[in-house]
Amino acid sequence: MDIPRYWRLRNQRYRLEGTECTECGEKSFPPRCVCAKCKSDSLQPFRFSGKGTIYSFSTIYQALDTFDKDIPYSIALVKLEEGPLITTQLADISPDEIKIKLPVEMVIRKIYEDGEHGPIQYGYKFRPVLNK
């Protein structure tokens, strides 16, 4: 991913920042240009708590180019406690421990390295909630 694009995504990748509609209260991730529910364009940034539960998941054995060295790795749709689903990689969990409804929380991890000399890109992943 080119650096300007990655930089543009920093508030989403590091802070889980989406949008909240000031008209109807609908919360969205990724951020929207227009409210998906009431079509208002009066939206403000909204930072999600990063807590949720697993809605669906998969473990990847054949990956896109850039992620080849990470296989096997696991991904999920996580139902955030504020409502929306988010697509994410999972961290600190083995494939046989993953279950639908498992409580998870956001952490910042390395997403990928662009070759030996390229920038390292970080962003959100989700891991099982600690101290449970």
Partner 1 sequence: MRQTAIIGIGQTPVREHWDYPIRGLAVKALRAAMQDAGTERIEGLFVGNMLSGALAEQEHLGALVADYAGFPGIEAVKIEAACASGAAAVRQAVLAVASGHLEIAAAVGVEKLTEFSGKFSSKALATAADADYEASIGLSFAALNALMMQRYMYEYGYSKEDFSPFPMIAHHNAQFNPNAMFRYPITKAQYLKAKPIADPVNLLDSSPVSDGAAALIIVPLEKISRFAGKGVKISACEITTDSIGLDNRENPIILAAAQKSARAAYKTAGVLPKDISVFEAHDAFSIITALSLEASGFVKDGQAPRLAAEGIYNIDGRLPISTFGGLKGRGHPVGATGVYQLVEATEQVRGCAPDKLQVPDVRTAMTQNIGGSGATVVTSILEKI
Tokens in use for 50? 């990063």
Q: Of 61 and 131, which CB lies nearer to partner 1 in the complex structure?
A: 61
Which of partner 1, Zn ion, none does residue 56 bind to, with CB < 5 to 8 Å depending on kind? partner 1
Q: Does 43 bind Zn ion (CB under 5 A)?
A: no
Which of Zn ion, partner 1, none does residue 88 bind to, with CB < 5 to 8 Å depending on kind? partner 1
**If you count DSSP H runs as helices and E runs as strands, how many of each does the chain have, helices first?**
2, 8
Task: Report the first-to-last Cα separation within the chain, whole angstroms.
Answer: 37
| Sole window of 19-27, 38-46, 50-58 interacting with partner 1 (rule: CB under 8 A) | 50-58
Helix (H) or strand (E) holding 12: helix 10-15
Buried-exposed string 26-64: b where 16+ CB fall within 10 A, e elsewhere: bbbbeebeebeeeeeeebeebebebebbbeebeebeeee
What is the contact surface with partner 1 in residues (CB under 8 A)? 1, 5, 9, 12, 28-30, 36, 55-68, 70, 73, 75-77, 84-89, 95, 100, 111-112, 123
Binding site for Zn ion (CB under 5 A): 21, 23-24, 26, 35, 37-38, 40
